[in-house]
């Protein structure tokens, strides 16, 4: 384990925690209402170990194969009495991978269609506890190609499916600010969607929004979970 890498991550983490604290203060929110999920995609399991050592309890991944391998490499960290380490799956989820993701993900942020619900629930049968599920809502216009996330109008039906699944727990919503739009405007729309959602599902009050570039705007709009990669771990390699 390189001590300079540890120092780099420690300094970045301190800076991100400070940004979160400042954003919470500006929004008159308590800093411990916001959970930092460090997105470790493209970075090695050794970085996950450093993060855990530095007090990070939540890491996020967006590709199944990489996530599964890293989870396996870090299996020894999950001991009774050991540090808390929760794995968040934050990326687009293929239906045929959902059951496999359910085997290691503690939280899935990207549920945006009915088929995933059934597959995640089936894949969760050997887990010790249920999976926390966030519904990903699209903030893009409906005609945008490559749009990820459910249309806000489809949330009630999806929520009902998750609530009916015995091994899934509906916890809230997730969104990504669209490229080329002021994130504050997009997150303001998200806050409206969330208000209606929480009125119907009071226990599902988590909101996963905000990344390295826009976490302040997300916290202002009520985010409870920010997903931060680059600002903690540095630029991702462009070739994998």
Ligand X SMILES: *Cc1c(COP(=O)(O)O)cnc(C)c1O
Alpha carbons 206 and 198: distance in angstroms, whole number: 9
Task: Give me the least distance between CB of 54 and ligand X, in Å please.
Answer: 17
- Distance, CA of 240 to chain centre: 22
Q: What is the largest CA-CA distance in the chain?
A: 49
Contact range with ligand X by CB under 6 A, out of 6-14, 79-87, 181-189, 224-232: 224-232
Q: CB-based burial of residue 235 (10 Å sphere; 0-12 exposed, 13-18 middle, 19+ buried)?
A: exposed
Residue with tokens 């699209």: 138
Q: Answer yes or no whether residue 63 interacts with ligand X by CB under 6 A.
A: no
Q: Answer yes or no whether residue 64 interacts with ligand X by CB under 6 A.
A: no
Indicate the residue among 46 and 212 with the shorter CB distance to ligand X. Answer: 212
Indicate the residue among 204 and 211 with the shorter CB distance to ligand X. Answer: 211
Indicate the residue among 12 and 158 with the shorter CB distance to ligand X. Answer: 12
Quote helix, strand, coil % in the chain, to nearest 5: 45, 15, 40
Q: Answer yes or no whether residue 176 interacts with ligand X by CB under 6 A.
A: yes
Indicate the residue among 50 and 228 with the shorter CB distance to ligand X. Answer: 228
Residues at the site binding ligand X, with contacts judged by CB under 6 A: 39, 41, 62, 90-91, 176, 211-213, 227-231
């Amino acid at each position: 384990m390189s001590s300079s890498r540890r120092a780099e991550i420690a300094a970045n983490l301190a800076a991100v925690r400070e940004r979160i604290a400042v954003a919470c203060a500006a929004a008159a929110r308590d800093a411990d209402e916001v959970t930092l999920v460090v997105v470790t995609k493209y970075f090695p399991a050794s970085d996950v170990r450093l993060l855990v050592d530095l007090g990070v309890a939540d890491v996020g991944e967006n590709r199944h194969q990489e996530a599964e391998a890293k989870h396996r490499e870090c299996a020894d960290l999950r001991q009774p009495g050991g540090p808390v380490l929760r794995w968040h799956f934050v990326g687009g989820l293929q239906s045929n991978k959902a059951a496999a993701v359910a085997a290691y993900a503690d939280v899935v942020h990207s549920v945006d269609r009915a088929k995933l619900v059934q597959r995640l629930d089936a894949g969760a049968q050997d887990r010790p506890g249920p999976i926390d599920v966030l519904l990903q809502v699209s903030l893009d216009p409906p005609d945008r190609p490559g749009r990820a996330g459910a249309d806000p109008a489809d949330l009630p039906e999806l929520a009902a499916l998750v609530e009916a699944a015995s091994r899934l727990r509906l916890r809230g919503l997730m969104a990504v600010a669209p490229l080329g739009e002021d994130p504050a405007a997009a997150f303001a729309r998200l806050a409206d969607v969330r208000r209606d959602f929480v009125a119907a599902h009071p226990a599902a009050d988590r909101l996963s929004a905000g990344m390295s570039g826009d976490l302040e705007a997300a916290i202002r709009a009520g985010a409870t979970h920010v997903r931060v990669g680059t600002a903690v771990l540095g630029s991702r390699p462009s070739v994998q």
